[in-house]
Structure 1
Amino acid sequence: MKKFRVRLTLIFVVLIGLSVLASSIFMARTFNQSQLKSLKENLVRESKIILAMTDWLREGSDTEQIAYYTKLAERLRTIAEARVTFIREDGIVLGDSDNNPVNMDNHSHREEVVQAREQGLGSTTRYSQTLKKNMLYVAVPVNDNPKFRGYVRLSMSLEDVEASTRLVWFYLILGLLIFFLAAGLLSYRIAHGLTQPLEKITRVARQITHMNYKSRVYIKNTDEIGQLGHAINAMADSLQFQMNRIQEDESRLKSVLENMISGVVMIDREGRIVLLNRSAEEILGFSSKELLGKRYDQAKQQYEMTQIIQECMERKEHIREEITFYFPEERILEINLVPMYHSEEEWAGIVIVLHDISAIRRLERMRSEFVANVSHELKTPIAAVKGFAETLLAGAVKDEETANSFLQIIYDESDRLNRLIVDILELSKIESKRIPLYFSPIHMDMFVRKTVEVMRTEAAKKQVKIDMQVDETVYLEADEDRLRQILINLLANGISYTPEGGKVTVLVEPADPTPEGDYEHVRIIIEDTGIGIPKKDLPRIFERFYRVDKARSRSSGGTGLGLSIVKHLVELHRGTIRVESGLGVGSKFIIELPVIH
C-alpha cells in the first residue's frame, strides 16, 4: 500500500508539474514575444522618424556617400540608441554606425532587406557574426525619395530581452520547484488520505483471509471508501456468524463421532480412508495416523472386509454382513456399508459402521445354554420320579422296604426339583431387578454369628469347622435378608467342596479408610480348605449351571445357580466379588460392599 501511495503521489505531482510547466513555457514564450514585438514596434517607429528627418545625399562618389552616411549613422545611433545602417538599393552598405561599411558584405539577400523590398517592411532576429550577439533587425525601404533609393535598417541587441527572459525563467523555475515541493506534500497528504482507509481495508481483508473474523475496519468517512469499509465489516460479521455455526456443528459432529460406541469409517470415491473415529480405531486395532489417507486395499485389514468394501464400491448398494475379527482380539462385528451421494447422481464414497455384537452373540449363546441346562436339570429329577413311580405301580409298592426306599428317592428328587425351580425364579427376579432391597444398619459381628449358627448343623455332618474373625466395630448398611442369602450360599458352597476335617473361615474387616478415621467399604472374606478351582475355570464360575466337578456337584445336590445368584445380589448392593483359588489349595471369595447407600 505504501508503494501505491508513492505512485499515486508521483502521478499527482507529474500531472500538476506538467500542467504548471506547460503554463510556464507559454508564459515565458508570450513574455519573450511581447518584448520582441514591443522592441520591433519601437524600431519601426524610429525608422520612420529617421526617414522623415534625414537629409539625404543625392550626388557624390561612393567614397563620399559612404563617409556621409557613416557619419550620419553614427549621429543617429546616439539619438535612437540603436545600430543604424544605410543600404543602397543594390545591397551595398553606404553607412553603419558600428562597423566600417567597406568591410561589410552585400546585404541585398539579407532576410529583413528581402522582406522590406517585397512587403514594405522587414524584420528578423539572428546572430550577428560581426557583433557576436543576437540582434533584432528592422528594415524600411526608401522608395519615394529622389536623392536616395535603398533601405534604412535599425538593429538592436537582444541582450536585455534575453536577460529579462532569463530572469523570468529563473523565477518560473524557482516558483516551479517551490510549487513541485508544495504539490508533492499536498499530493502525499491527499494520497495518504485516500490510501490509508484502503490500507486498513486491505489489512482487515488479509486478516479475514487468515481466518481472523473478529478484525474490523474503523473508518469515519461516509464516501465510497467508507461504504466499502462498512461492506467489509458486514461481510466479516456474516463470515464470523457462519464460521461459528460451522465450528459448532463440526464440534457437535466430532463429539458425536468420538463418543459413539459404534465404529465409523469413511472412504471417498477414490478409495482413500478419510475419516476414522476412536471406536473404529479400537475395533480395527490401528490408529487413525496409520490408516488416514491410505487406500482401503492397502490398509492392514483382513481379506473378508476388503472384499466387502470392494463389492460395495462396485455395486453402490447398502451391504450388511457379520464378520469375525481375530485382531486385536477375537470379536464378532456387524458391518454396514452405505453409499454416499453429494447429489442425486454424484457418488461420493461409502460410510462403514462397525458394531461389536460379541456380547449379544454371547448372551444368545448363554440363553441357549441356559434353556438347555434348565431342560437337562429338570429332566433328571423328573425322569427319576417317573421311573421309580412306574416301578412302584408295577408292584414294588407291596415290598415295604423297597417302596420306602423308592418313595424316599422320589421325595429327594422332588425336593431337588423344587429347589431348582425356586433358584431359577429367584435368579430371574434378581436379573430383571424386580426385587426391592430394604437397606438397614447391620452389626456385622452379631449378623455373622447368627448366619454361622444356621450352617453349623450342615457343617457338623461333614465334620467341617466354621471359624469367625469379625471386627466388633464394623457396621454395614444392607438388605439383611439378601446379605444372609449371600453368606449362606457361599458357606454352603465351601462346606460342600471341603473334605471331612476341613475348615471354612469367615473374615469381616473395614476397607478403604478415610482421613477422618472412618472407612468406605466392608470386606467379607469366606475361605475354605476344599478341593479348589482350576485357574481355567475361574472366569466362568459365576455363570449359571457352570460346574467345575459336575459329578460331585450332582451328588451334593447343588443346582449350579448359587454363585450366579450371589454375584447378582452383590452387584445390586453396588459391591464387587472376586475369587482366588487353585487346584488343591482351597478357595477364597472376597466381597467388598459400600458402608452407606
Structure 2
Amino acid sequence: MKSIRFFQSIQAKLIIIYLLMIMIAMQLIAAYFTQTLETSLTKDYIDNMNRQARLLAQYAETYLVDQTQDTPKGGGNERETKRTYADLNQVVNSLFARTQAEIQVIDGNGLVVTTSLETNKSVIGSKNTQTEVTRALQGIKENQRTFTDPGGIRKLVIAKPVGSGTKYIGAIYIVASMEEVYNTMNRINRFFITGTLIALAMTAVLGVMLSATITNPIKALTKQAGRVAEGRFDEQVRIMGKDELGQLGQTFNFMMERLQEALTLNEEEKEKLASILANMNDGLIATDDNGRVIVINRRAKQLLKVNEDTTLGMPLAELLGFTPDIVRQLESSEDHSALLHFFHEEEDDPLFVRVTYTTIHSKGRGAAGTIAVLQDVTGQEKLEQSRREFVANVSHELRTPLTTIKSYLEALEDGALEEPQLAGKFVGVAHNETERMIRLVNDLLQLSRLDSRRVTIAKEKTEVAEMLDEVADRFSFQLEQRNIAVEVTVEPGVRSIMLDRDRIDQVLDNLVSNSIKYTPEGGHIKIHAGSPDTARLEISVQDDGIGIPRKDLSRIFERFYRVDKARSRAMGGTGLGLSIAREIVKAHGGSIQLDSELGQGTKVTFTLPYHQEEVVL
C-alpha cells in the first residue's frame, strides 16, 4: 500500500484546522483589541491635549487682557508689552515644551504672539489664518482635526478660544504629533503578533501530539486492513482505549476473525468443488451472462480436445459448434439436451457426447449464466449399435438357412420328391442348413451363458505340451489336404496348469480352424506356449495367411463381425467363434489379443494365470 503524504493525511488536516481556528480567533481578538486600544489611546491623547489647551488658554488670558488694557493708544509703554510676551513665551516653553508639540498663542487679531518652537520664531507677529484659529476667535470651542504632513507624520490640530462670555481676546493653537501614540500601538501589535506566533507554534506541537492519539489507531487499522487484503490474518489491531476508535478496533478484529473463518471455509469449499470438477466423469462448462466460458473442467477439455487457455472467454456456442439460435432453442426446450458427434483425427471412431444445458439464476439479476454438462455416451451408442447389429445379424443368419430350407421343401412338395436323386440332394441341403442353424443357436446359447456367468468352469490339471499336440493331431487331416505345415513349440519353463480342458480346446480349435481357413496352400502355422513370468501362461497361434486389414482389428472380437462376410459364410462360420474364445479366456481370468497385417498373416495370443498354489519357486 502506498504511503500517504503528510499534507494529505488526517493528522495534517486536524493540525491545519486547529491552526486556522487559533488564527481566526486571534485575528478577531486582535482586530477588536487593536481597534479598541487605538480608539482609547487616541481619545486619551486628544483629551489630554484639549485639557492642556484649555489650561493654557486660561493662563494666557491674563497676558492678553493686560496687554489690551495697558497698551496706550498712541504707542505707549512698549517695553512692558515685550516683557509680558516674553514672560508668556517663557511659561509656554517651560511648561508645555515636553509635549513635543507646537503651541502658538494668538491675539484677538489673529496675530501670533508666541510659539513653543525655537525654530519657528519667525511666525511671531504674523497672522495665523488656519480655519481652526478663525473658528476659535469666533468663540467656537471644539476645533480639532488630524492630518498627515508631507513627511508622513500624523498630527493633531487643536484651537481653543481665549476669553469667556461673548468676548474672546485670542486663541490657543496647538499642532501635536501623534506618532508616539501609533508607535505605542505598533509595539503592542508586535507583542500581539509574537504572542500569536508562539500560540500557533504551541498549538501545532500540541496538535501533532493530540492528533496522533486519533491518527495512530487509524494508521494501525489501515495497515492491518492492507495485511488482510494480502491474506495475512496473523496479527490483530492493538486496542489503545475504550473510545470510539477502540470500539472500531475491536469490531475490526472481530470482523477479521469472521472473515478468516469465512475465507477458510470458502477455500475448503473451493478445493472440494475443484476436486469434484476435476474428477467428474462428465465434462462441465460454465459461462457468464454473456455466454462466454469462465470454467471448464479436465474431462470437458478431454472430450472437446481443447486446452483451457484458448477456451476461457470463448462463446459457448462457438466452442460446441452451435449457432446462437440453436443454443437458445436448447435452453428453452424441455429436456435442454442435444447429442453431438465429434470426429478427432487421432481417433478412428466418432465420439458421441450428450450436452445438457442448465441456466444459472441469480437473485435480483435473473439469468446469470449457463452450465453445460457433457456426457460421453459413445459406449452407450456403440452398445445400442451393437445390439441393433446383433439383432440384424441373428435375423439374417437365421433367415438365410430358413429361406433355403423353405425353398427346398416347397420344391419337394411340388414334385421333386418323386425324383430320388434330386430329392436326396434337396434333403441333404436342408440337413446342412439345419445343422448350421443348430451350430448358430448353440453358439448363441453358449455366449448367453458366458455373459450371464452361468457356465461352470471345471478346471483340471493339464499338461500344456500334450494339449497342444492333440490340437495339432485333430487338424492333421485338414492340414495335409491344404499342404500347410504346423509347428508346436513349448518353452522349457512352461508348467502344467489348472484349466477347463474342453473349453480351452474349443478356443484352440477355433483359432487353428481360422488359421487353416485363411492360410493359402503351402502355408505355415505355429502354435507356441511360453511363460512371460511365473504367474502367467501365454499361448499363441500364428499363421502367414491373408491377414486382416488394420481398420477391422478393433472390431474383430465383436459378435457376427466378419472381415469377408461372403467367404466366412461359405466356409460355414457363424461369426461368433472369436467372441466365444474371448469370453472363455475371460472366464479363466485371462486376456486375448490379435495382431495382424494385411498379406502378412495373423497372430492370436491369449494368456492364462497360474493359480497361486501352483507356483513353484
TM-score, length of structure 1 as denominator length: 0.70
User: What does residue 447 of structure 2 align with?
Assistant: 427
User: What does residue 493 of structure 2 align with?
Assistant: 472
User: What does residue 527 of structure 1 align with?
Assistant: 542
Letter in 2 for 1:109: T
Do the aligned residues in 1 keep the contact of 2:53 with 2:160 (CA within 8 Å)? Answer: yes
1:402-436 deviations in Å (ceiling 9; x for gaps): 99x989996x8887666544433332243345668
User: What does residue 23 of structure 1 align with?
Assistant: 29
User: What does residue 558 of structure 2 align with?
Assistant: 543
2:493 is paired with a residue whose SS is: coil
1:311-343 deviations in Å (ceiling 9; x for gaps): 718977666655655566645555656777668
1:505 is paired with a residue whose SS is: strand
The within-5 A match list for 1:337-486 is 355-375=375-395, 377=397, 420-432=440-452, 447-463=463-479, 465-472=486-493, 486=507
CA distance in 2, matches of 1:436, 1:543: 23
User: What does residue 312 of structure 1 align with?
Assistant: 329
CA distance in 1, matches of 2:498, 2:219: 76
Q: Does 1:143 align with 2:143?
A: no
User: What does residue 567 of structure 1 align with?
Assistant: 582
CA distance in 2, matches of 1:368, 1:344: 50
Distance 1:192-1:293 versus aligned 2 partners, 3 A rule: same
Distance 1:146-1:117 versus aligned 2 partners, 3 A rule: closer
Give the Å deviation of 1:566.
3.0
2:131 is paired with a residue whose SS is: coil
CA distance in 2, matches of 1:345, 1:48: 97
Letter in 1 for 2:468: V
User: What does residue 526 of structure 2 align with?
Assistant: 504
2:531 is paired with a residue whose SS is: strand
Give the Å deviation of 1:506.
1.3
Give the Å deviation of 1:92.
3.9
Determine which of 226, 230, 237 is the counterpart of 1:218: 237
Distance 1:245-1:504 versus aligned 2 partners, 3 A rule: same
Identical aligned pairs, as a percentage? Answer: 27
The within-5 A match list for 1:182-221 is 182-198=202-218, 218=237, 220=239
User: What does residue 110 of structure 1 align with?
Assistant: 132
1:435-486 deviations in Å (ceiling 9; x for gaps): 6889x9x99xx64224324424313333564512324277989888876765
1:177-210 deviations in Å (ceiling 9; x for gaps): 33333323333444454445445556667788x7
Q: Does 1:56 align with 2:72?
A: no
The within-5 A match list for 1:98-137 is 98-99=117-118, 100=120, 102-103=122-123, 106=128, 109-110=131-132, 118=140, 127=148, 134=154
CA distance in 2, matches of 1:310, 1:325: 18
CA distance in 2, matches of 1:262, 1:115: 125
Do the aligned residues in 2 keep the contact of 1:317 with 1:338 (CA within 8 Å)? Answer: no
CA distance in 1, matches of 2:330, 2:517: 62
2:62 is paired with a residue whose SS is: coil
User: What does residue 94 of structure 2 align with?
Assistant: 75
CA distance in 2, matches of 1:481, 1:123: 154
CA distance in 1, matches of 2:134, 2:257: 83
Determine which of 594, 602, 608 is the counterpart of 1:587: 602
Letter in 2 for 1:72: V
User: What does residue 515 of structure 1 align with?
Assistant: none
Do the aligned residues in 2 keep the contact of 1:141 with 1:152 (CA within 8 Å)? Answer: yes
Give the Å deviation of 1:542.
0.8
TM-score, length of structure 2 as denominator length: 0.68
Distance 1:145-1:377 versus aligned 2 partners, 3 A rule: closer
1:330-364 deviations in Å (ceiling 9; x for gaps): 45555656777668996678766555544433322
Distance 1:113-1:361 versus aligned 2 partners, 3 A rule: same
Do the aligned residues in 2 keep the contact of 1:385 with 1:413 (CA within 8 Å)? Answer: yes
CA distance in 2, matches of 1:80, 1:482: 152
Distance 1:110-1:245 versus aligned 2 partners, 3 A rule: farther
1:542 is paired with a residue whose SS is: coil
1:462 is paired with a residue whose SS is: helix
User: What does residue 516 of structure 1 align with?
Assistant: none
Question: Aligned residue pairs: how many?
Answer: 575
Letter in 2 for 1:451: M
The within-5 A match list for 1:149-160 is 149-152=169-172, 158=178, 160=180
Distance 1:349-1:309 versus aligned 2 partners, 3 A rule: farther
User: What does residue 86 of structure 1 align with?
Assistant: 105
CA distance in 1, matches of 2:294, 2:580: 48
CA distance in 1, matches of 2:446, 2:243: 87
CA distance in 2, matches of 1:332, 1:181: 85
1:265-315 deviations in Å (ceiling 9; x for gaps): 677787767776665555566666666656688x4987xx54961771897
Determine which of 194, 198, 207 is the counterpart of 1:178: 198
105-114 vs 463-472, greater mean Cα deviation: 105-114
CA distance in 2, matches of 1:176, 1:93: 50
Letter in 2 for 1:528: D
What stretches of structure 2 of length at least 5 have no aligned partner? 72-77, 480-484, 613-617
CA distance in 2, matches of 1:146, 1:349: 113
Do the aligned residues in 2 keep the contact of 1:126 with 1:135 (CA within 8 Å)? Answer: yes
Distance 1:88-1:332 versus aligned 2 partners, 3 A rule: same
1:123-154 deviations in Å (ceiling 9; x for gaps): 6665567x985556666654349998444567
CA distance in 2, matches of 1:542, 1:313: 39
Distance 1:343-1:80 versus aligned 2 partners, 3 A rule: closer
Determine which of 3, 8, 22 is the counterpart of 1:4: 8
CA distance in 2, matches of 1:82, 1:348: 97
CA distance in 2, matches of 1:449, 1:317: 65
Distance 1:239-1:506 versus aligned 2 partners, 3 A rule: same
1:500-538 deviations in Å (ceiling 9; x for gaps): 884432131326xxxxxxx78665433235554444543
CA distance in 1, matches of 2:139, 2:17: 54
Do the aligned residues in 2 keep the contact of 1:316 with 1:339 (CA within 8 Å)? Answer: no
RMSD between superposed Cα atoms in Å:
5.7
Do the aligned residues in 1 keep the contact of 2:546 with 2:601 (CA within 8 Å)? Answer: yes
Distance 1:108-1:475 versus aligned 2 partners, 3 A rule: farther
CA distance in 2, matches of 1:492, 1:455: 10
CA distance in 2, matches of 1:454, 1:191: 108
CA distance in 1, matches of 2:49, 2:429: 172
CA distance in 2, matches of 1:217, 1:116: 92
